[in-house]
Amino acid sequence: MSDFQAWMTERQGRVELALSNALSAANIAPMRLHDAMRYAVLDGGKRVRPLLAFASGELTGADISRVEQAAIAVEMIHAYSLVHDDMPAMDNDVLRRGKPTVHVEFDEATALLVGDALQSRAFEVLSQPGLTSDASTQVQMLGILAAASGSHGMAGGQAIDLESVGKTLELPELEFMHILKTGALIRASVTLGALCGKPMDEVAMNKIDHYAKCVGLAFQVVDDVLDSEASTATLGKTAGKDAAQNKPTYVSLLGLARARELAEELRTDAHAALAGLGSDSTRLKQLADYIVLRKY
Amino acid sequence: MSDFQAWMTERQGRVELALSNALSAANIAPMRLHDAMRYAVLDGGKRVRPLLAFASGELTGADISRVEQAAIAVEMIHAYSLVHDDMPAMDNDVLRRGKPTVHVEFDEATALLVGDALQSRAFEVLSQPGLTSDASTQVQMLGILAAASGSHGMAGGQAIDLESVGKTLELPELEFMHILKTGALIRASVTLGALCGKPMDEVAMNKIDHYAKCVGLAFQVVDDVLDSEASTATLGKTAGKDAAQNKPTYVSLLGLARARELAEELRTDAHAALAGLGSDSTRLKQLADYIVLRKY
């Protein structure tokens, strides 16, 4: 196992434990809701957003136990969005992370409430007293997570995605959609991780934000590439879904070869953005590689 | 118009304007989402939670423009819960505040995203820099709103409500459900309003919290009474719905006469809780009267 893989495995385990601790036990009322919240969040996913938060926290010498809380807050937002996105009114998907989706395993009303309650819980976790040395930074972090989640962030991206089904989008429109839908939360992960540590100057903040933009887009481009070539078994979610739903993707707009090239270019840009940040940015660099080179 | 009515009308107008300013215009992308968010929130409701926040803010000499922001944050949470609650997977209701519900006027996917984005926006509003003199109080306020909204608050109450359809609940179970479903956010409104001003001692905080518990329960008891006797036109939402869905209510458990009596007792308790808080608690007292004596 490479040093990076060992780091990643350790952090993923830490996230799993922290998430488990932050979610009410399934035997606490309302039991069905708590059971379903745990089902939606635990034992799943690559935890890319938490990993990005940990990596950028290393840049500012952040206390790992603080970053961990920011990381799970972001992951709860991500998990809630998947639960709602999978519902019949949205993507109507039955498989997620190799398991039946929440509305299939439980029911639609429970899935709705699971998403709602996970969003609240994310903000509750991030409001814990003493999460940062300075309470005004913590207020700033809460504002960043809220903005990234809302109508000018993730939820707005979902809305544009919905409107785009069956339409011919141009590349700038597709990009705008993804910048909101997945990009906003990925940028927030990187920023929140850094804010857990020592204050960063504006130049450095802009560098990691540019890095996060590149990684966010690359993540989506690679998702589209994998969706077009991989099997459902490998992905753990329904493959070829976008094409079946006639949704525009980077592959449908650019072709497979150019989409692969674009992901490579974004990886190079992400690396370049980290120039001058020193060896503490190694994990961010490795994560850009991981995100682009992953096979599922 | 009585002095109280004039106060209420002024505050309701202020809330309407602040909500309108805090929501993106309907011509900003994603337009359909923003249009639907405004539809869900504006021009509707008695704004009971904001009124409670304003009234308790008067106790601590809070700046009215600060309380206003806390008030609209709470109202956005309330509005989002109505949008999700009305959806087919939940109560499947077509009428709210005299208008078609959001999923009827727009569509289910939009209703889902409206609720999600309103929740995010509530926390964003409450994270504005400088909302309180002291950032750690603001972090505390964010935590209170999040806890009141989540699985141990409003969303948890909805989950218990769902589980209770067709079951015979005992009074303590019904009460537990309502303490979460409506009580938690009402208590948060009162607490957040007070926290916008000068620090209160623990005794006074406990008093207004006890007041808020009484008012929260009274609100629900009165809702059940009105639902059982009023017409759909007067309520602006489907009347007699609880009975039709075989949902337990205070009226079905206690009978109409005893339910009316209980509301009266809770009003007396709410007044008693305010003893010793001085004349600044007048608005809270008047609001308890308004909540119990209202006709719709």
Residue pLDDT, tens place only, B182-191: 999 999 999 9
Contact with chain B for residue A123, Cβ under 8 A: yes
Contact with chain A for residue B69, Cβ under 8 A: no
Residue bearing tokens 């509750």: A124
Q: By mean pLDDT, which of A141-155, A238-252, B40-54 is the weakest? A: A238-252
pLDDT band at B242 (very low <50, low <70, confident <90, very high): low
pLDDT of residue B10: 97
pLDDT tens across A128-171, in order?
988 988 999 999 999 999 999 999 999 999 999 998 877 888 89
User: Which residue of chain A comes nearest to B88, CA vs CA?
Assistant: A109
User: Which residue of chain B comes nearest to A115, CA vs CA?
Assistant: B116
CA–CA separation, B230 and B94 (whole Å) = 18
Q: By mean pLDDT, which of A128-132, A232-236, B20-24, B125-129 is the weakest? A: A232-236
Contact B159 A89 (CB under 8 A): no
Reading the block at residue A165, the tokens are 């089904």
Of B32, B127, B36, B95, the C-alpha closest to B236 is B95
What's the rounded mean pLDDT across residues A174-189?
Answer: 96
Contact with chain B for residue A76, Cβ under 8 A: no
pLDDT of residue B236: 61
pLDDT of residue A167: 80
Residue A130 belongs to some domain of the structure: no
Boundaries of domain holding B164: 3-293
pLDDT of residue A237: 62
What's the rounded mean pLDDT across residues B110-130?
Answer: 97
Q: By mean pLDDT, which of A220-234, B78-92, B135-149 is the weakest? A: A220-234
User: Å from B276 to nearest chain A CA?
Assistant: 31
Domain of residue B162, CATH code: 1.10.600.10
Number of structural domains in chain A: 1
Contact with chain B for residue A121, Cβ under 8 A: yes
Residue bearing tokens 């603080």: A66
On chain A, the residues whose CB falls within 8 A of the CB of B136 are: 129, 135
Phi, psi of A95 (to 5 degrees): -130, 135
ipTM over 0.85: yes
Does the pLDDT of residue B166 top 90, yes or no? no
Does the pLDDT of residue B235 top 70, yes or no? no
What share of chain A has pLDDT > 70, as a percent? 95
CA distances to A53, A182, A203, A212, B233 from A185, rounded to whole Å, are 11, 6, 21, 10, 44
pLDDT of residue B231: 60
What's the rounded mean pLDDT across residues A6-32?
Answer: 97
pLDDT band at A224 (very low <50, low <70, confident <90, very high): very high
User: Which residue of chain B comes nearest to A109, CA vs CA?
Assistant: B89
pLDDT of residue B168: 80
pLDDT tens across B61-112, in order?
999 999 999 999 999 999 999 999 999 999 999 999 889 999 999 999 999 9
Does the pLDDT of residue A123 top 60, yes or no? yes
User: Å from A34 to nearest chain B CA?
Assistant: 7
What share of chain B has pLDDT > 70, as a percent? 95
Please state, rounded to an integer, the average pLDDT across all residues of chain A.
93
User: Å from B265 to nearest chain A CA?
Assistant: 29
pLDDT of residue B289: 97
Contact with chain A for residue B258, Cβ under 8 A: no
Of A269, A294, A270, the C-alpha closest to A56 is A270
The verdict on pTM exceeding 0.80 is yes
Does the pLDDT of residue B234 top 80, yes or no? no
What's the rounded mean pLDDT across residues B26-50?
Answer: 96
Of A20, A13, A25, the C-alpha closest to A125 is A20
Which of A41, A120, A142 to mutate to test binding with chain B, by most B CBs within 10 Å of its CB? A120
Please state, rounded to an integer, the average pLDDT across all residues of chain B.
93
Which of A118, A123, A154 to mutate to test binding with chain B, by most B CBs within 10 Å of its CB? A123
Does the pLDDT of residue A278 top 90, yes or no? no
Identify the three-state secondary structure at position B100: strand
pLDDT of residue A244: 63
On chain A, the residues whose CB falls within 8 A of the CB of B107 are: 89
CA distances to A47, A107, A233 from A101, rounded to whole Å, are 18, 10, 15
Cβ atoms of A116 and B155 closer than 8 Å: yes
What's the rounded mean pLDDT across residues A75-95?
Answer: 96
CA–CA separation, A169 and A184 (whole Å) = 20
Contact B159 A127 (CB under 8 A): no
Does the pLDDT of residue A234 top 80, yes or no? no
Contact B112 A34 (CB under 8 A): no
Work out the burial of residue B3: count CB atoms within 10 Å of its CB; fewer than 13 is exposed, 13-18 middle, 19 or more buried: exposed
Contact B30 A135 (CB under 8 A): no
pLDDT of residue A245: 67
* A residues 92-111 closer than 8 Å to B (CB): 107-111
Quick one: CA dihedral B32, A40, A108, B84, positive or negative?
Answer: negative
pLDDT of residue B285: 97
Cβ atoms of A50 and A11 closer than 8 Å: yes
Of B132 and A53, the one with more pLDDT: A53
On chain B, the residues whose CB falls within 8 A of the CB of A147 are: 120, 124
pLDDT of residue A183: 96
Residue A58 belongs to some domain of the structure: yes
Q: By mean pLDDT, which of A91-100, A246-255, B249-258 is the weakest? A: A246-255
Does the pLDDT of residue A235 top 60, yes or no? no
Hey, what amino acid is at A176?
F
